[in-house]
Amino acid sequence: MLGTLKLLLQVAFRNLLKSKVNIIIGGIIFFPSCLVVTGGSLLDSMNSSMSRSIIGSLSGHLQVYSDKSKEELALFGNMGGEADIAAIDSFTPIKTALEKHPNVKTVVPMGTNGALITSGNTVDLTLARIRDLYRKNAAEGETPERRAQIESLKAHVRHLAELLEAEKETRKVLMRDEARDPSEIAALEKARSDAFWADFDKDPLGSLEFLENQLAPQVADGDLLYIRYVGTDLDAFQKSFDRMQIVDGQKVPEGKRGMLLSKFFYEENLKLKTARRMDLIKEARDTNKKTIALDPLLQRYVKENSSQTREIVYQLDPLKTQQAVAKLQEALGSQEKDLSKLLSSFLAVTDENFDTRYKQFYEQLVPLLDLYRIKMGDTLTITAFSRTGYVQSVNVPIYGTYQFSGLEKSPVAGAANLMDMVSFRELYGYLTEEKKEEIAQLKSKSGAAEVKREDAEAALFGGDSPSNLVAEATPGLINENEQITTTGAALRNEDLLQRVYSQKEIEGGMVLSAAIILKDPSKLDATLAELQQSQELKDLKLRVVSWQQAAGLIGQFVMMMRMVLWGIITILFVVVLAIINNAVMMATIQRVKEVGTMRAIGAQRSFILSMVLLETVVLGLVFGGLGAGVGSAIIAWLHNVGIPAGSEEMYFFFSGPKLLPTLEASNIITAFVLVVGVSVFSTFYPAFLATRVSPVTAMQTDE
């Protein structure tokens, strides 16, 4: 038996490269085996990288949410916006049940939502500062420093009114048919008049209200932004997700209300647009080795910077305008006095002067400007629709910015801003104990009577309606000065922001989902199955899913790519099977005389069948091995050099700026199994035909 096998192997290797047909078959086998190893390794590496991104940034290893939810959880969003996830009334029972499992390390409460915020235009921001200074004067007494700040800001607002009037006159000349609103003309004229500013301090709040309502809307340089936020236990989140790092400011003090903005969101949406474009140009030149002269996108950034100078001009008060003009004249060697023209010339950068201009921009101009619309320490008002459809607003202090290590440039990882759980619940519409107490006090003070639905019409419109159902307007009872300095909403909001919430309060309320961090991630599948079968979790009506499912469409990306790859491979191997079948058929026909001679000297049909099959197997192993070897070499080379993330979106899938593919033994085994299987299957029919060759054929001679 061994002797026969040895003989068959000798014949197989002897015929390996003897025929051109074998070389063609080998080349056909080579390509798909190389593709299986290379493509499989790349997808496995991408899957591993993406899992690190998703697990380390938001989802944890597993996620749990209510089984009553109408849609599946999608932490990174889906095509229709935020998923319709049912609220879980209390996080405490969930945490208690999950932490009983020996492989569960910790459980972090979560909830995701989105809202529209406005960053305010230049006038809005300036007026807000003036209002804040007047409030401080009323509460603490006026100081010379504060008075100087007020006068400087007032001069800035008046300067903005002058700029706005000049801009509208220019537009009127360029667009001859454009009619100006008389009310806007009157408001601008008043805001530029000496009389208005002379009387400003007689009624500062009334003057500010006029400017906010009549002047600010005419300056359309504010931004309406969509902000996506994740409510969580901020302290537990930072401890559980070790890739998270604070970049600017500080972490939110334990137990307090607050927010951490994503560094990516902060830079992309809240930074001075001119500065942001300068940063993008520098990054493209330094990191990606692009040039302004050849890259259309960089040329667009330069054009936008040089033509859109309004954002900078409007920020500068008269004194800062003089300083900026002097600095720009020196940098450009120009005598031009118009700030807009100087900025346009300065920002029309080229590859030759960009580095110098970039340095001058940040050293000379930025100190005169507000680089960000929102600064660390500011309080952001977020207004969102609650779960029942009414509008709810919450003031949240911004303590700092954060990012996930390795995902600094990823829009996917950078889309989520972190908010404390108490503020999230309030925006969601969850009634905290404070809210319930406040509602009870309002009912008590107003003397509101509870009326049944069937009695509502009679109570409202009948002759015997209770007097407490009608409120008489009493002018003069609301004193804005008194509200600002003593009582009212401002103090209540300040009290809420100063309050420290206990861990029991943070964990005792509503959540939408919870992230599960495992002690041993290698047991993820087993832990998931055990938790899904847990009767305690079933009683709590909870659904447990893996990180891949919790991530939504993003989590399915690699799976879809794998399906595409295997679709291509399947088509390839079907083609390969047909080609090998035909090629072996041709080779068998060419060897009819040889096979007939072997049969004539006593070779059995089983020997002929084994010979043909073994030759194809050897062919598949040799050329399949070469293909797998080349594929392995490609992966090893790519691991050393890395595949750069060509776009910011790919940072998330690569879990960093580069993908470093690794070779898995399973991919090599799969390649060999497929190659040998297809080779043998495609050879069965030609091999069967070879066994039917008659010995008489061996005695036939060519004519």
Contact (Cβ atoms closer than 8 angstroms) between residue 72 and residue 86: no
Q: Are residues 90 and 18 in the same domain?
A: no
Give the pLDDT of residue 693. 59
Q: Are residues 434 and 575 in the same domain?
A: no
In 3D space, the residue among 661, 683, 693 whose CA is nearest the CA of residue 43 turns out to be: 661
Contact (Cβ atoms closer than 8 angstroms) between residue 618 and residue 13: yes
With respect to residue 354, please indicate whether it lies within any of the assigned structural domains: no
Give the pLDDT of residue 439. 64
Residue 453 has pLDDT above 60, yes or no: no
Residue 419 has pLDDT above 70, yes or no: yes
Q: Which residue segment(s) compose the domain that 680 sits in?
A: 2-52+556-693
Residue 44 has pLDDT above 90, yes or no: no
> How far is residue 575's CA from residue 429's CA, in Å, rounded to a whole number?
60
What residues form DSSP beta bridges with 173? none
Give the pLDDT of residue 462. 59
539-563 average pLDDT score: 81
Give the pLDDT of residue 12. 56
> How far is residue 595's CA from residue 604's CA, in Å, rounded to a whole number?
11
In 3D space, the residue among 613, 601, 587 whose CA is nearest the CA of residue 698 turns out to be: 601
The larger pLDDT score, comparing residue 215 to residue 331, is at 331
With respect to residue 175, please indicate whether it lies within any of the assigned structural domains: no
The least confident of 88-97, 201-210, 379-388, 513-522 is 379-388
58: amino acid identity, one letter: L
Q: Are residues 411 and 519 in the same domain?
A: yes
Residue 293 has pLDDT above 90, yes or no: yes
Give the pLDDT of residue 403. 92
Cα four-point dihedral sign 285, 291, 292, 296: negative
The least confident of 75-89, 185-199, 236-250, 581-595 is 581-595
Cα four-point dihedral sign 562, 567, 569, 573: positive
> How far is residue 578's CA from residue 411's CA, in Å, rounded to a whole number?
46
- To 10 degrees, the CA torsion angle through 121, 127, 129, 133? -170
In 3D space, the residue among 92, 90, 89, 158 whose CA is nearest the CA of residue 123 turns out to be: 158
> How far is residue 339's CA from residue 351's CA, in Å, rounded to a whole number?
24
Q: Are residues 37 and 76 in the same domain?
A: no
pTM of the model: 0.72
303-307 average pLDDT score: 92
Directed axis angle between helix 557-590 and helix 20-54, to 10°?
Answer: 170
Residue 643 has pLDDT above 80, yes or no: yes
With respect to residue 660, please indicate whether it lies within any of the assigned structural domains: yes
112 CA to centre of own chain: 13
552-562 average pLDDT score: 72
Give the pLDDT of residue 356. 95
* Confidence grade of residue 5 (pLDDT, cut at 50, 70, 90): low
Residue 450 has pLDDT above 90, yes or no: no
Contact (Cβ atoms closer than 8 angstroms) between residue 66 and residue 87: yes
The least confident of 174-178, 396-400, 501-505, 654-658 is 174-178
What's the total number of domains in the chain? 2
Give the pLDDT of residue 96. 93
With respect to residue 125, please indicate whether it lies within any of the assigned structural domains: no
Q: Are residues 535 and 569 in the same domain?
A: no
What residues form DSSP beta bridges with 244? 404
Radius of gyration of the chain (CA): 37
CB burial string 678-688: b at 16+ within 10 A, e below: bbbebbeebbe
Residue 119 has pLDDT above 70, yes or no: no
Question: Across the chain, which distance is largest between two alpha carbons, in Å?
Answer: 126
The larger pLDDT score, comparing residue 58 to residue 556, is at 58
- Alpha-carbon distances of 218 from 155, 261, 552, rounded to whole Å: 18, 29, 42
With respect to residue 256, please indicate whether it lies within any of the assigned structural domains: yes
Residue 306 has pLDDT above 70, yes or no: yes
Q: What is the CB-side half-sphere exposure of residue 428 using CA atoms within 13 A?
A: 29
Give the pLDDT of residue 601. 63
Give the pLDDT of residue 671. 82
pLDDT digits (tens, 9 = 90+) for 193-215: 888 888 888 888 888 888 888 88
> How far is residue 365's CA from residue 378's CA, in Å, rounded to a whole number?
23
The least confident of 233-247, 337-351, 583-597, 615-629 is 583-597
Which residue is associated with the tokens 């209770």? 466
With respect to residue 278, please indicate whether it lies within any of the assigned structural domains: no
Return left, alpha or beta for 36; rule: phi > 0 is left, psi -120 to 50 is alpha, else beta.
alpha
* Confidence grade of residue 518 (pLDDT, cut at 50, 70, 90): very high
Give the pLDDT of residue 243. 86
In 3D space, the residue among 324, 398, 406 whose CA is nearest the CA of residue 656 turns out to be: 406
Give the pLDDT of residue 488. 45
52 CA to centre of own chain: 15
> How far is residue 184's CA from residue 186's CA, in Å, rounded to a whole number?
5
Give the pLDDT of residue 295. 92
In whole numbers, what is the pLDDT of the chain averaged over residues? Answer: 79
The least confident of 291-305, 515-529, 679-693 is 679-693
> How far is residue 267's CA from residue 410's CA, in Å, rounded to a whole number?
12
Q: Are residues 530 and 647 in the same domain?
A: no
Give the pLDDT of residue 172. 66
Give the pLDDT of residue 256. 92
With respect to residue 595, please indicate whether it lies within any of the assigned structural domains: yes
CB burial string 229-253: b at 16+ within 10 A, e below: bbbbbbbbbbebbebbebebbebbe
Give the pLDDT of residue 521. 92
14-29 average pLDDT score: 69
- β 259-262/391-404 pair status: parallel
Q: pLDDT > 90: what percent of the chain?
A: 27
Give the pLDDT of residue 358. 95
> How far is residue 416's CA from residue 407's CA, in Å, rounded to a whole number?
12
459-477 average pLDDT score: 46
Q: How many residues does the chain have?
A: 703
687 CA to centre of own chain: 57
Give the pLDDT of residue 226. 83
Q: Are residues 638 and 518 in the same domain?
A: no
Give the pLDDT of residue 493. 59
**Between the ranges 379-393, 529-543, 636-650, where is the mean pLDDT highest?**
529-543
How many Å from the N-terminal Cα to the C-terminal Cα in the chain?
A: 40
Q: Are residues 415 and 443 in the same domain?
A: yes
Q: Are residues 47 and 86 in the same domain?
A: no
Q: Are residues 525 and 575 in the same domain?
A: no
| 3-state secondary structure at position 308 | coil
Q: Are residues 521 and 583 in the same domain?
A: no
**C-alpha triplet 151, 152, 156: angle, nearest 5°:** 115
> What tokens does 430 get?
């969850």
In 3D space, the residue among 676, 646, 677, 643 whose CA is nearest the CA of residue 660 turns out to be: 643
CB burial string 392-416: b at 16+ within 10 A, e below: bebbbbbbbbbbbebbbbbbbbbbb
Give the pLDDT of residue 520. 94
> How far is residue 156's CA from residue 163's CA, in Å, rounded to a whole number?
10
- To 10 degrees, the CA torsion angle through 635, 640, 644, 650? 60
Residue 264 has pLDDT above 60, yes or no: yes
**Between the ranges 82-86, 379-383, 630-634, where is the mean pLDDT highest?**
630-634
Give the pLDDT of residue 622. 80
In 3D space, the residue among 513, 541, 594, 649 whose CA is nearest the CA of residue 85 turns out to be: 513
524-530 average pLDDT score: 94
Q: Are residues 639 and 515 in the same domain?
A: no
357-378 average pLDDT score: 91
Residue 91 has pLDDT above 70, yes or no: yes
The larger pLDDT score, comparing residue 78 to residue 296, is at 296
Which residue is associated with the tokens 């002047």? 215
> What tokens does 119 get?
């960053």
> What tokens does 175 get?
């667009």
With respect to residue 569, please indicate whether it lies within any of the assigned structural domains: yes
* Confidence grade of residue 443 (pLDDT, cut at 50, 70, 90): low
